[in-house]
Amino acid sequence: MKKTIIRIMAAVCAIVLSGCVRMRMSMDVSSSGDVKCGVTLLFREDLLSFNGADPDEQINAMISQYREQYPDAVVKKAEEKEGDTLYAGVSASGFENDALKAEVSEGMVTLRLPVSALTNELATTVMNGVNYSLNDLKEYGAQVTLEINMPAAASCNVGTVNGRRVFIDLLDLPAGTDDIVITSKAGLPLSTIMLIAGGVLLAGSCGYWLLKRKNGTGEEV
């Protein structure tokens, strides 16, 4: 997990300092502890065309790189607009990491994300001979966020919780945070949900058939 986050972050660190970059990571945690990951990297349009560069070529190069890095992911161009400012880039979703798995115990799911390696990497990264801290990144306008979707209503030691969703600003972690810890009930596994849904559908079909038969004959069955 540490290596995955560091690799993703280090790859864009040199341009994050322009204040023109938005990076969002996501993790979908299942009741069995499996984690599906996603990442979206967006650049302000004028940055993509800096020094006469072709924005489409830049984005296509990023798409190729992400497809190579995450062969199991769905990789595509991403865009969003804020006011008159257009951001464009790439997104990858639905990929897994063998080293990342939540712990399931006594009906609870716990996802623990160590942040020390990430913050140390960002704080000590040397670009153009200058060391930048997390505060520098924030002051330059960089946005680096993480969203975690848990199987049920979640709790977390940092960030904002809305039902089963947790939102974390990775550049605004409280001082002294060693780990991001998110917990929730395991919830029902997908197979159980499908079984329940099938039972409800069957019961509804039987009820409809009986009602239709009664209406057709005038007799109760």
H-helix or E-strand containing 146? strand 143-149
Q: Per-residue b/e over 131-161, b at no fewer than 16 CB within 10 Å?
A: ebebeebeeeebbbbbebbbbbebebebbeb
Cβ contact 178:114 at 8 Å: yes
Q: Which residues contact 89 (CB under 8 A, 6 or more apart)?
A: 40, 41, 42, 43, 59, 62, 77, 78, 79
Give the pLDDT band (50/70/90) at residue 179: very high
Nearest to 17 by CA among 115, 119, 131: 131
Summarize pLDDT for 70-117 with one digit per residue, the tens: 899 999 999 998 888 889 999 999 998 777 889 999 999 999 988 875
What average pLDDT does range 197-213 have in this prediction?
52
Query: Which DSSP state fits 152?
Result: S
Supply the pLDDT for residue 26: 92
User: Half-sphere exposure of residue 221, counting CA atoms within 13 Å on the CB side?
Assistant: 12
Domain ranges of the chain: 2-187, 188-221
Convert the pLDDT of each residue in 115-172 to its tens digit. 875 665 455 433 434 455 556 667 777 788 899 999 999 999 999 999 999 999 988 8
Residue 5 has pLDDT above 50, yes or no: no
Q: What is the structure's pLDDT at 20?
A: 73
Per-residue pLDDT tens over the stretch 20-66: 778 888 999 999 999 999 989 888 888 777 778 888 888 998 899 88
- Distances 66 to 73, 78, 145 between C-alpha atoms, Å: 8, 13, 19
Mark out the alpha helices in 134-180 (DSSP H runs). Answer: 134-139
**Range among 24-28, 48-52, 195-199, 200-204 with highest mean pLDDT value:** 24-28
pLDDT of residue 105: 93
Q: What phi and psi values does residue 91 have, to the nearest 5 degrees?
A: -135, 145
Name the pTM for this structure.
Answer: 0.72
Please tell me whether residue 71 adopts helix, strand or coil conformation. coil
In the predicted model, is pLDDT for residue 8 greater than 50?
Answer: no
Calculated CA dihedral for residues 92, 95, 97, 98, nearest 10 degrees = -160
